[in-house]
Amino acid sequence: MSESILKALMQLFAIIARPVTGDEPEGSDYSDRRRVVEEFLKNQLNQELVTEYLKVFDYYYNLYQEKQSEKSKSKKRTSSSSVRVLKICSQINEELIQQQKVVVLIRLLEFVKPEEGEVTEQEMAFISTVSETFYIPETEFTLLRDFVLNPFEQILPHPNILVVNNDKHYEKLGIKHIYSENILDEIKIVFVESANILFLRYKGNHELYLNGHLVQNDKIFVLNNGSSIRNSKIKPIYFSDIVGRFAQDKIKEKIVFDVQGIEFRFKSGKTGLHHMSFTEESGHLVGIMGASGAGKSTLLNVLNGSEAPSLGKVCINGIDIHNQKNLVEGQIGFVSQDDLLIEELTVYQNLYFNAKLCFDNYNSDELDDAVNKMLMSLGLYEIKDMKVGSPLNKKISGGQRKRLNIALELIREPAILFLDEPTSGLSSRDSENILDLLKELTLKGKLVFVVIHQPSSDIFKMFDKLLILDTGGYLIYNGDPIESIIYYKSRVQHANWNESECTLCGNVNPEQIFNIVEAKVLDEYGNPTRARKINPSEWNLHFKRFFPETLKANESQHELPKIHFKIPNWFKQLRIFVKRDVLSKLANSQYMIINAIETPLLALLLSYIIKYYNVDVSNKIGYTLLENSNLPVYLF
């Protein structure tokens, strides 16, 4: 956030602040207002800059309070302030993303909320102007206004409000609910759909922690990726649980991916995967992490049906994907680490020919429409006529190449998508964009598995579930990503084992996990040896004791999602392949010129040389093809 925008925001807070009336002691509401501004700044800046910008707020606050106290010019001042609000909001609009604008609106509502009484008409008029300028829908503004300003007990039922409490029979119409057994108070969470952001409000007398920070009573907090709500008495409530509850109603066709006691052995007899079981459902983004040789790719191949397990089975809604392949055809998509793009074709052509090989039942208009929609949804429509190019001769960026690879699978609309190292070789920005895209897919009901290596803090927090493999194919963790750091630190009795992230910046360090898992034994001189303190099988036993397998009752089998996938017959496939390859050759002008000139040029050169070459003095005719001694070798 730029310096000019921060100053504009401080000015906006100061303008909206209502003047102190004669009945109130001076500064009666000022400390509360200043605290709201301070909390907002702490989420954006370090402590030094927070202090600096609080001084900016103090300056503007005192300036506008002085101006507004002139009663004879109050109408003129109000009009002037409205113009300033519009000007500042227009400036902010150009720089802040929609999520940040919603946070600003929430902080403004908190800012004007009085300890007693109601918000003044002038303050609400200013905030309404801000909301309109930020293009926040009126229905969402009303929802947020009531969520922040109404007494906690009077927050009305709404489809976008979730309640967390210990009432099993909570059946208030229109309110979503999460049951937490030992929670003694109540939490309410609002989902702002247009900005895809969540806010929490807690009212109670007991301590509650959000990401290790104490939740202040009756204040509004932002719920970010990877957030967790906990105290000493309750089972942690994870961000994925909350998002999943909001997404539940939108998922029409449920997918249950059940891995039942699988093991895998290579042909040599070596074990690639040891016994493991887990279940995942639609709407989740699942990360798979592990060191080199831990079996990540092997697990991915078993889960996507490429390899059959030696023991156990993998089921989708009760259907075995290895023994009943025909029933799950088209339900699984796999994006490999390597490119599957044809370099000479355009972005559109790559996706179009792939679609033709998947949808024999589509006509040309339907294919064109499906391809364009997919390109638009992945942000590739503007470059659809650009050639893909090679990694060495780049035409499109690495992030765009990866998105196009994902589009090749995604156009079939598989219910489950597997990706092998989708962020490999990409910048941190492109990596986050790819994971943002995958996260959006889960919100639409897809189940996505991602093998990833060394994720950043932001990417790590995006995962709903995390599977960690250790050397030799041992499953040593299955659960919430942030909780994994606490789990491993507690296993080795770290002093600050209950802290999963930095208390100042909120970042997490996934490398901590492997530093603990692969910690080496030290010799008498303090040098690390090759032996590990805890070997993979021991970590696996720790995991099984801490997370015992629970046998689920057989649920009624859900129907598989309907797909439009239909492979054309072999003759149509041949025609598509020929047309695609001819187009790729024609698109390569250098290749065409060389092939067109090379053969006649070589023939002319050789014929000119051979014309004057006689192997026999008696040969007066010259060179003839039939008398060439190398002809049999050439033919056979």
Q: Which pLDDT tens digit goes with each residue over 291-328?
A: 888 889 899 999 999 999 999 999 999 899 999 888 88
| Sequence-separated (6 or more) residues with CB below 8 Å from residue 265 | 271, 272, 310
Of the listed ranges 30-34, 77-81, 231-235, the one predicted with least confidence: 77-81
Which pLDDT value is given to residue 264?
A: 94
User: What proportion of the chain, given as a percentage, has pLDDT over 70?
Assistant: 87
Residue 67 binned pLDDT confidence (cut-offs 50, 70, 90): low
Q: What confidence tens digit (pLDDT) does each residue in 416-441 have? A: 999 998 888 788 888 888 888 888 88
Tell me, what's the pLDDT at 556? Answer: 47
Picking from 11-20, 332-341, 469-478, 614-623, which range would have the lowest pLDDT averaged per residue?
614-623
Higher pLDDT, 374 or 82: 374
Threshold 0.85, pTM exceeds = no
Domain coordinates in residue numbering, the chain: 1-136, 152-249, 254-331+414-496+533-552, 588-635
- State yes or no: pLDDT of 620 exceeds 70: no
Reply yes or no on whether the pLDDT at 623 is more than 70: no
CA 383 – CA 526 distance, rounded (Å): 57
Per-residue pLDDT band for 578 (boundaries 50, 70, 90) equals: very high
Pairing of strands 209-210, 213-214: antiparallel
> What pLDDT does 553 receive?
46
Q: Which residue has the higher pLDDT, 69 or 84?
A: 84
Q: What is the CATH number of domain 152-249?
A: 2.60.200
Is the distance from CB of 423 to CB of 433 less than 8 angstroms? no
Higher-confidence position of 411 and 31: 411
| pLDDT over threshold 80, residue 509 | yes
- The encoded tokens of residue 307 equal 């390899």
Nearest to 16 by CA among 58, 73, 65: 65
| pLDDT at position 72 | 45
Quickly count: other Cβ atoms within 10 Å of residue 383's Cβ.
18
Mean pLDDT of 374-396: 84
Residue 263 pLDDT: 93
Mean per-residue pLDDT of the chain: 83
Digit-coded pLDDT (tens) for 163-193: 988 887 775 566 788 888 888 889 999 999 8
Tokens at 159, concatenated: 């489809």
Q: Give the pLDDT of residue 505.
A: 65
Rg (CA), the chain: 32
Q: Say yes or no to pLDDT of 258 above 90.
A: yes
20-24, 206-210, 325-329, 468-472, range with greatest mean pLDDT: 468-472
- Name the token pair of 512: 């901590």
Q: Do the Cβ atoms of 520 and 533 come closer than 8 Å?
A: yes
CATH class of 254-331+414-496+533-552: alpha beta
Whether pLDDT at 26 is above 60: no
